[in-house]
Amino acid sequence: MEGEVIANAFQNAYWGFPIALYFWLVGASAGSFVISTLGWVFGIRKYKPIAFFASNTAIVALLIVPVLLIIDAGKPYRFLHLFIFAHWSAPMVWGSFLIMIYPIAMGFYSYFVYHKNQSRARVLGILAIVLALSTHWYTGVVMQLNPSRLPNHTSVAPLLFLTGAYVSGIGLLILCLWLRNFLVAVKTRVSPELLADMARLMLYGIVFDLFLLGNEFLQMTYGTGEERAILYEVLLEVFRWPYLYLEVVWGLILPLIILVIPKLNRSLTGVFAASFMTATGVYGMRIWWVMGAQYYQGHF
């Protein structure tokens, strides 16, 4: 019934919240892993102590992804078709192999970090960074290469997905490290200064994300009739909660205000609040990006 109502497709159900969650998890994994490589790959020593935890956080987030995709396929064995009957022109085939290889590379990277093998950790870290960025880049490409769906059909899609991955991954990692501090000995806790430094890295991503969204807003405002319809009738009307309130206001503007005020961005409470808002706010983007275009197709 869902497929019939939304897309007039009698054999398929439309993409819903599980797919939006899949996009969010892939992004959070990639963002968290990039932070884990700052010490062992890029030589920023203060990040070395959190590399192992950050990499494992990325692995756990990514391991949930295949479960969501297999369940969404309806029949679990269907995912095998992407491997057995691979059409290499299809982004979903690229993604299937990336999702399989990426956690393996992260696992080897974590192993070498744990054993403090600098040279091998660096090599595996570089490989895993490429796979991390490629895995989330392909999710944007999957949406981009659909000419019948606005606003998905735009070359900015992969950039928006990667930027959202960067900020949500850092936000999630800060929250996990904050919780970890309650469970470990004092000498192994992550300092508030390092958490604040990570929040500053997140701030740069928030500014760039707002820049990209602002450009897309202008594009649709001064664009074709279809573009104006999806902006004012879909995104700012039906999907105004995930688009305007959850992503833009809650996930970007409020964290930006917190992180530019010196008194707040140096406090653990301010850093925690901004991280929580950003990590959860990006999920709003995943919701409207996945479901907004399908709603537009079915109702306009």
Query: Could you tell me the CATH number of the domain that includes residue 96?
Result: 1.20.1630.10
Q: Three-state DSSP class for 238?
A: helix
Q: Which of 104, 107, 95 lies closest to 133 in space, CA to CA?
A: 95
Residue 41 phi, psi dihedral angles, 5° rounding: -105, -45
% the chain with pLDDT above 70: 93
Q: Which of 26, 18, 282 is nearest to 138 (CA)?
A: 26
Query: Tell me, what's the pLDDT at 10?
Result: 47
In terms of average pLDDT, the best of 147-161, 222-236, 248-262, 278-292 is 248-262
Cite the DSSP H helix spans in the chain.
2-7, 17-40, 48-63, 65-72, 81-84, 91-114, 118-144, 157-180, 192-221, 225-229, 240, 254-260, 262-265, 268-299
Pull the structure tokens for residue 274: 């901004």
> Is 50 exceeded by the pLDDT of residue 4?
no
Give residue 39's pLDDT.
95
Domain of 166, in residue numbers:
2-299
pLDDT digits (tens, 9 = 90+) for 126-183: 999 999 999 888 888 888 887 666 777 788 889 999 999 999 999 999 999 999 999 9
Instruction: Give the containing element (helix H, strand E) for 204.
Output: helix 192-221
- pLDDT for residue 19: 87
- Residue 5, pLDDT score: 47
Count of structural domains, the chain: 1
CA–CA distances in Å: residue 54 to residues 25, 38, 263, 270: 14, 11, 27, 21
Count how many residues are written for the chain.
Answer: 300
Two structure tokens written together for 169: 């991954």
pLDDT at residue 35 in the model: 96
Check whether 105 has a pLDDT greater than 90. Answer: yes
How many angstroms separate the CA atoms of 263 and 230, rounded? 40
